[in-house]
């Protein structure tokens, strides 16, 4: 069960092999987390993430494999996670590929990014929402991004998919009102992780540890939207910039 501070004893992490997910799991294991299901694509990396989780204090850790390109498999993957974990206090969605500057109009790359960043997660969240509604309680935390707030020109495919997932999650949270399930969206500045290696540093950047602290604090506050770093909330003002000007801003 969740405690009064919103801290989970059992969690499922979709996209459990990322640096971010690892940092969040470590922070949760310092509090109350004992039962954990890590779901991801790469078996090797899942194993290594699982042993880090055990080292951090999680007692029962299992892994589930899925391929974020296979939307038809998303509900099955989520069901497997729930069946393995027992009642799930927290579902953390950390799935999504960051496309490096996609200047070319490459339709297959677009399909891949949109599938892994929006379609698969949306289906998975729908299934998780329904399982948690049956439980009568639960938290869903969706890692979103500042690019979802206003889609940058140079990263519009990924940005638009994140914007879609962000809006989907907010809508899902509203739809779940009264079920005991709470959906929280964590909008991240840039974190230096495996996905962003080689990209130049940016303002409003953050670290996996800062994200983990923000997730833990967010669980306590029950806020619908959590900004990391907190100053990132001012990015919302970017919505007011005229499009003619916005497209000239170097990404």
Partner 1 sequence: MPDGFRGQLLSGWGRAGATRADVQTPPDADAIVDLLSEADGRGIVARGLGRSYGDAAQCAGGTVVDTVRLAGAGAVDASGEVEVAAGTSLDTLVRHSVPDGWFLPVTPGTRQVTVGGAIASDVHGKNHHVDGGFCRHVTAMTIATPTGLRRVSHAQDGELFWATAGGMGLTGVVTSARLRMLEVDTDRMLVDTDRFVDLDGVMSAMEGGDDRYRYSVAWVDCSGPVRAKASRARGRPGVGRAVLTRGDHARAEDLPSRLRSAPSPPGRPRLGVPRCVPRGILNRASIAAFNEAWYRRAPAHREAEVQPMWRFFHPLDGVADWNRLYGRAGFLQYQFAVPPSSGDVVTAVVRELSARRIPSFLAVLKRFGPSSPGPLSFPIPGWTLALDVPLGAEGLAACLDRLDEMVAESNGRVYLAKDSRLRPDVLAVMYPRLAELSSVRRRVDPGGVVRSDLSRRLGLD
- Please state the closest distance from residue 16 (CB atom) to partner 1, in A: 24
Site for partner 1 in 156-175 (CB under 8 A): 175
From 69-77, 103-111, 126-134, 194-202, span contacting partner 1 (CB under 8 A): 126-134
CB neighbour list of residue 236: distance below 8 Å, 6 or more residues apart: 149
| 246: contact with partner 1 by CB under 8 A | no
| 224: contact with partner 1 by CB under 8 A | no
User: Contact with partner 1 (CB under 8 A): which of 12, 21, 23, 32?
Assistant: 32
Cα–Cα–Cα angle for 187, 4, 78, rounded to 5 degrees? 55
Nearer to partner 1, 70 or 174 (CB): 174
User: Contact with partner 1 (CB under 8 A): which of 51, 83, 134, 231?
Assistant: 134
Q: Residue holding tokens 């989780």?
A: 53
Q: How many beta carbons lie within 10 A of that of residue 23, not counting itself?
A: 21
| 115: contact with partner 1 by CB under 8 A | no
User: What distance in Å separates the CA atoms of residue 18 and residue 217, rounded to the nearest whole number?
Assistant: 20
User: Contact with partner 1 (CB under 8 A): which of 52, 62, 69, 179?
Assistant: 179
Q: Among this protein's residues, is 158 annotated catalytic? A: yes
Nearer to partner 1, 139 or 187 (CB): 139
Q: How many beta carbons lie within 10 A of that of residue 31, not counting itself?
A: 16
CB neighbour list of residue 224: distance below 8 Å, 6 or more residues apart: 170, 173, 183, 184, 185
Nearer to partner 1, 57 or 192 (CB): 57
Closest CA to 127 of 97, 96, 93: 93
| 59: contact with partner 1 by CB under 8 A | no
* Catalytic pick among 158, 163, 191, 206: 158
| 136: contact with partner 1 by CB under 8 A | yes
User: Contact with partner 1 (CB under 8 A): which of 56, 122, 176, 211?
Assistant: 176
DSSP letter, residue 205: B
Compute the CA torsion angle 152, 126, 134, 217 (nearest 10 deg): -10
Catalytic residues: 158
């Amino acid at each position: 069960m969740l405690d009064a501070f919103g801290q989970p004893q059992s969690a499922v992490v979709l996209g459990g092999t990322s640096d971010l997910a690892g940092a969040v799991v470590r922070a949760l294991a310092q509090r109350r987390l004992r039962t954990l299901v890590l779901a991801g694509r790469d078996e090797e990396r899942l194993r290594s993430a699982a042993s880090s989780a055990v080292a951090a204090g999680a007692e029962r850790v299992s892994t589930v494999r899925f391929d974020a390109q296979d939307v038809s498999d998303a509900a099955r993957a989520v069901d497997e996670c729930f069946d393995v974990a027992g009642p799930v206090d927290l579902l953390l969605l950390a799935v999504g590929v960051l496309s490096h500057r996609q200047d070319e109009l490459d339709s297959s790359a677009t399909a891949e990014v949109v599938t892994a960043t929006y379609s698969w997660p949306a289906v998975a969240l729908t299934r998780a929402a329904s399982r948690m509604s049956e439980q009568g309680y639960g938290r869903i935390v969706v890692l979103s991004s500042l690019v979802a707030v206003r889609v940058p020109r140079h990263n519009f495919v990924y940005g638009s998919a994140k914007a879609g997932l962000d809006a989907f999650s907010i809508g899902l949270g509203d739809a779940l009102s009264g079920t005991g399930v709470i959906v929280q969206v964590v909008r991240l500045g840039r974190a230096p992780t495996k996905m962003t290696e080689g990209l130049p540093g940016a303002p409003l950047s953050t670290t996996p540890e800062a994200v983990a602290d923000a997730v833990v604090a967010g669980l306590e506050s029950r806020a619908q939207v959590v900004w990391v770093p907190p100053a990132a909330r001012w990015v919302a003002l970017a919505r007011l910039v005229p499009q003619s000007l916005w497209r000239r801003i170097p990404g």
